[in-house]
Amino acid sequence: MGAVQPRCRRHATRYGSPQGTAGSSQDGPAWLLSRGQEPALDAKLGVRRARAATLLMLALPGSAYLYQGEELGLHEVADLPSDVRQDPTFRRTGGREPGRDGCRVPLPWTVDGASFGFGADGAHLPQPPWFGSHSVQAQANDPGSTLAFYRDALRVRAQLHAVDRLDWVETRNPEVLQFVRPGSWLSITNFGRAPIPLPAGEVAIASAPLIGDQLPQDTTAWIVQARARPRHRLTIALRRPVASGPRCSTSTRVDSPARQVTRRRSFPCIS
């Protein structure tokens, strides 16, 4: 049985690694084995695609799983020294499999400090210097940050989610994935390289800035569509007839595309 190739656990790193030949893995084994040296990682693209993937996942029915640190756009830490690694996989394979320590480095809470705010006793795995710019403190007041995006996505998801059901939409474009959820809202993801027209409706959230009424590449958006008007409208009016003595009546009018019906009923008034 062949050895299992290592793979990046953080999707921001995985989606930023080169795709290679058609159908090849994008889990980044070569990048991990080189301790993050090669091939070159497109960190910005990785975060953009990770945000699009997360918004697509959050639009699906059912429970959602978020791994600690992805809400900060953290990448895998591949250059951990061998003597600090703790994952048994690294020891059992003699270092051939880096293990999971790269995605277990403690989260950065502040922009500086011995452990970036993780604790007074320091971090159990060394944190790289670039963690400061990805910290909670650095992103908390930035409306365009990945942290703000995750907070907005979870808030909008709670507002929109209803019945756990979806209906797929045929887009006639193999690079576009679209489905409708109960409550007249939809999710659309552009996997292609060119912008596409946005469906009609109000944009509730998008994983990246839009281009006018176009959805850019590597972007997911949620669109709230106009709710369909009810097929029937029921109007009830209470009135006291002038010459009918101590009796009241109701007038009920039912409007539908096919007919209009007015029904009247008389009953004793309650003084």
What CATH number is attached to the domain comprising 46? 3.20.20.80
Residue written as tokens 């409708």?
A: 180
The pLDDT > 70 percentage for the chain reads 76
Greater pLDDT, 57 or 229: 57
Quick check: 120 pLDDT over 50?
yes
Greater pLDDT, 204 or 252: 204
Instruction: Please indicate, yes or no, if residue 19 is contained in any of the structural domains.
Output: yes
pLDDT digits (tens, 9 = 90+) for 56-96: 999 999 999 999 999 999 999 989 998 999 989 888 988 88
- 91: Cβ contacts below 8 Å, ≥ 6 apart: 85
Q: For the whole prediction, is pTM greater than 0.75? A: yes
* Average of per-residue pLDDT across 174-187: 96
Instruction: Please indicate, yes or no, if residue 139 is contained in any of the structural domains.
Output: yes
Reported in sequence order, the residue ranges of the chain that DSSP labels E, i.e. its strands, are 167-168, 176-181, 185-190, 196-197, 202-206, 214-215, 219-224, 233-239, 247-255, 260-268
Q: Total structural domains in the chain? A: 3
Quick check: 180 pLDDT over 90?
yes
Task: For residues 114 and 117, give the distance between their C-alpha atoms in angstroms, rounded to a whole number.
Answer: 7
pLDDT digits (tens, 9 = 90+) for 3-43: 545 666 788 988 988 765 444 555 566 777 777 777 888 99
Q: Could you tell me the residue range of the domain that residue 90 belongs to?
A: 11-157
Q: Which of the residue ranges 112-126, 139-153, 184-198 would you say has the lowest mean pLDDT?
A: 112-126
What local confidence, expressed as pLDDT, does residue 256 receive? 38
Kindly state whether residues 76 and 149 are assigned to the same domain: yes
What local confidence, expressed as pLDDT, does residue 151 receive? 97
Residue type, 227: R
What local confidence, expressed as pLDDT, does residue 182 receive? 94
Greater pLDDT, 213 or 24: 213
Strand order in the sheet with 185-190: 167-168, 176-181, 185-190, 219-224, 202-206
Quick check: 255 pLDDT over 70?
no
Mean model confidence pLDDT for the chain: 82
32-64 in b/e form (b: 16+ CB < 10 A) is: bbeebeeeebeeeebbbbbbbbbbbbbbeeeee
What local confidence, expressed as pLDDT, does residue 8 receive? 65
Quick check: 233 pLDDT over 80?
no
Looking at 140, 157, 174, the residue that finishes a domain is 157
CB 61 within 8 A of CB 164: yes
Residue type, 270: I
The maximal CA–CA distance of the chain, rounded, in angstroms, is 100
Looking at 136, 157, 178, the residue that finishes a domain is 157
What local confidence, expressed as pLDDT, does residue 20 receive? 58
Kindly state whether residues 122 and 169 are assigned to the same domain: no
What local confidence, expressed as pLDDT, does residue 178 receive? 98
Instruction: Please indicate, yes or no, if residue 40 is contained in any of the structural domains.
Output: yes
Task: For residues 77 and 264, give the distance between their C-alpha atoms in angstroms, rounded to a whole number.
Answer: 76
Instruction: Please indicate, yes or no, if residue 3 is contained in any of the structural domains.
Output: no
pLDDT digits (tens, 9 = 90+) for 135-175: 999 999 999 999 999 999 999 999 998 889 999 999 999 99
Looking at 157, 173, 208, the residue that finishes a domain is 157
CA 7 to chain centroid, in Å, comes to 23
Instruction: Please indicate, yes or no, if residue 134 is contained in any of the structural domains.
Output: yes
**CATH code of residue 194:** 2.60.40.1180
